Structure 1
Amino acid sequence: MKVVIAGGSGFIGQHITDLLVENGHEIIILSRNEKPDSENLKYVLWLQEGAVPEKVIGEPDVFINLAGVSINDGRWSEAHQKRIYDSRMEAADELIRMIGKMNIKPSLFINASAIGIYPASETAMYTEESTEVATDFLGRTVNDWEKKAATLNDLGIRTVYTRFGLVLGKDEGALPLMVLPYKMYVGGRVGSGRQWVSWVHVRDVARAVLHVMQNGQLEGAVNVTAPFPLRMDEFGKMIGATMRRPHWLPVPSAVMKLALGKKSSLVLEGQYVKPEKLLADGFEFDFPIPSLALENLL
């Protein structure tokens, strides 16, 4: 397939791009900067003055939208929250504009999303059938992002919102910051420790996206989380055990809020999210349990 990826140079985008190239797909990455092409991988300028990417990319089969300022970067000031939100809306609008100009439309549009759309809870279990929507900044951002993508359904394009959980990677994503206290022998419970961590190995994220491409039945929301979430305190204990470091020094919620501001909600709150659609569709995780993922990454 010919696949256009917006945000293909980011943490998750790189893993998806590598896997798709491995599987023989032709990849076009929309980029703000000119970069050299390689076999089965081409870069096309977009979101720049004078750039008309739809005239260059031809007739792609799939669009994957991962574009937007990372929620993990920077403190969540009002200005930074605006950049996070606006970058996602701008990218979605431009992709919708591009597709609207094409005589032959792609058959599939995959829009990155996040389990932050579900309200934080220590007791609820969320699946793709859950209708509750969080009203905080992240919930509103994700909900509006999905609504943008949903307009492509009117063009007859199969549209999927891949709701990523806490994505674990070796050098990027949330894990390096979570591991740092343990490297310094000061790891321990964060906040109450009862908040849920619905995690997923970045390799399984890429594999899930490929699975969606290969299966024409999946549409709408698709939770991309490992099948076995766990509480934050248990997750920390597992990091400590894997690294052979103690899990002993609690970090109170007040300290996290002081250090991270509003972004502290990413670690102090959580959701128990199940990937029911992927499991029902026969998807098998390479890393279904946290110990396997941590051993692989750490």
Structure 2
Amino acid sequence: MKIALTGGTGFIGQKLTDQLLQENHQVYILTRNKGKKQEKQGLHFVQWLNEGDEPEEMLEGIDVLINLAGESINSGRWTEERKRRIYHSRMHATNEVIRLIDHLNEKPYTLINASAVGYYGTSEKRSFDEASPYSGEDFLSTVVKNWEDIAKTAEKDWNIRTICCRFGIILDKNAGALPKMALPYKLFAGGRIGSGNQWLSWIHINDVISAIVYMIEHESIEGPVNFTAPNPVTMNEFGHTLSTVLHKPHWLPVPSFAVKAILGEMSKLVTEGQKVTPNKLLSHDYPFHFTHLKEALEDIYQK
């Protein structure tokens, strides 16, 4: 297949590109600065998001367009300026994806757009699946809702199969949230964050990549898709499991007010949470590699 990818140099994008190339797809990475990036067999770079760029000229005949572009939500305190960048980076990139599709004579048959479980808001008592309603409670849920609404234009205007990947906490040894969550344990200062009763809906990076490829191949999957493992855990259970795998103590509680003082509004990512189940992937028989947290963390840290 001919597959175009935004955010191809990011955390998920790099690993997804490697997998798609291994499967002999032609991959076109949209980038602001094509520069001297090294193209190789099956890999091409297309410049976009600069004045005068016309990426559609190189993308006629693409089968799938995957949009992963956007400012990271967990790489710094959410100041008003950072929140503005988080919001506008997603809206701008996704609007440009829609503009690109509009200018293609031959439309892709699938658009896969990044999203997040933040769509559902937070709760210690409720469970959420893809049929759960939008919460509209906070900054992150607003970002996700507006992000998905733009992506859905592809379905409404051109009947393109559109999938919104609502990512949970993605577990990887060197990127994403896990290295920051593991650092206190490695320093023998790990412990419960907040009440410990808040839910953590997680997924191993290998399942993220495999499930995206699975969705490309299974045309019956569409709409929102929760990218979380079948067995979410409380933050307290996460800490105990992480300490066991790392052979470090779980003993030093961190109160919610301290996390909020350090992270500001971003603290919601760790002091609050949601119990999210991947009903759509399960109902379409996606074979998860990692369904339980302990086996996922052992794979990450004991390779």
What is the TM-score of this pair, normalised by structure 2?
0.97
The offset of 1:3, in angstroms, is 0.5
**For residue 290 of structure 1, what is the amino acid of its counterpart?**
L
Give the aligned partner of residue 253 of structure 1: 256
1:143 aligns with 2:119: no
1:198 aligns with 2:201: yes
Q: Secondary structure at the match of 1:112?
A: strand
User: Whole-Å Cα distance in 2 between the matches of residues 199 and 40 of structure 1?
Assistant: 32
Identity %: 48
Question: What residue number does 2:27 align with?
Answer: 27
CA displacement at 1:21 relative to structure 2: 1.2
Q: Distance in 2 between matches of 1:293 and 1:275?
A: 16
Q: 2: CA distance between counterparts of 1:57 and 1:104?
A: 9
Deviations 1:218-264 (A, max 9, x none): 11101010000000000000010001000000000011001111100
Alignment partner of 1:279 is 2:282? yes
Give me the whole-angstrom Cα distance separating, in 1, the residues matched to 2:15 and 2:230. Answer: 21
Choose which of 115, 122, 129 in structure 2 pairs with 1:127.
129
Matched, 1:244 2:247: yes
SS of 2:53's equivalent in the other structure is: coil
Rounded Cα–Cα distance in structure 1 between residues aligned with 2:60 and 2:223: 26
In structure 2, the residue matched to 1:65 is 67
Task: Decide whether the 8 Å contact of 2:60 with 2:105 is kept in 1.
Answer: no
- Residue 50 of structure 1: aligned partner: 52
C-alpha contact (below 8 Å) 1:226/1:289 kept by paired residues: yes
Match of 2:17 in 1: 17
Alpha-carbon separation, structure 2, partners of 1:134 and 1:171: 32
Opposite residue 158 of structure 2, the aligned amino acid is L
Task: Name structure 2 gaps, 5 residues minimum.
Answer: none
Asked if 2 retains the 8 angstrom alpha-carbon contact of 1:191 and 1:253, the reply is yes
Listed one character per residue, the Cα deviations across residues 104-124 of structure 1 (whole Å, up to 9, x for unaligned) are 100000000000001200111
Distance (whole Å) between structure 1 residues aligned to residue 154 and residue 58 of structure 2: 21
Query: Which residue number corresponds to residue 159 of structure 1?
Result: 162
Residue in structure 1 matched with residue 6 of structure 2 by the alignment: 6
Residue correspondences, number: 298
Unpaired runs of 5+ residues, structure 1, are none
Report the CA distance between 1:95 and its aligned residue.
0.7
User: Take 2:248 and 2:193, find their aligned partners in 1: how far apart are those partners?
Assistant: 16
Q: Which residue identity does 1:17 align to in structure 2?
A: T
**TM-score normalised by length of structure 1:** 0.99
What is the Cα deviation at residue 57 of structure 1? 2.1
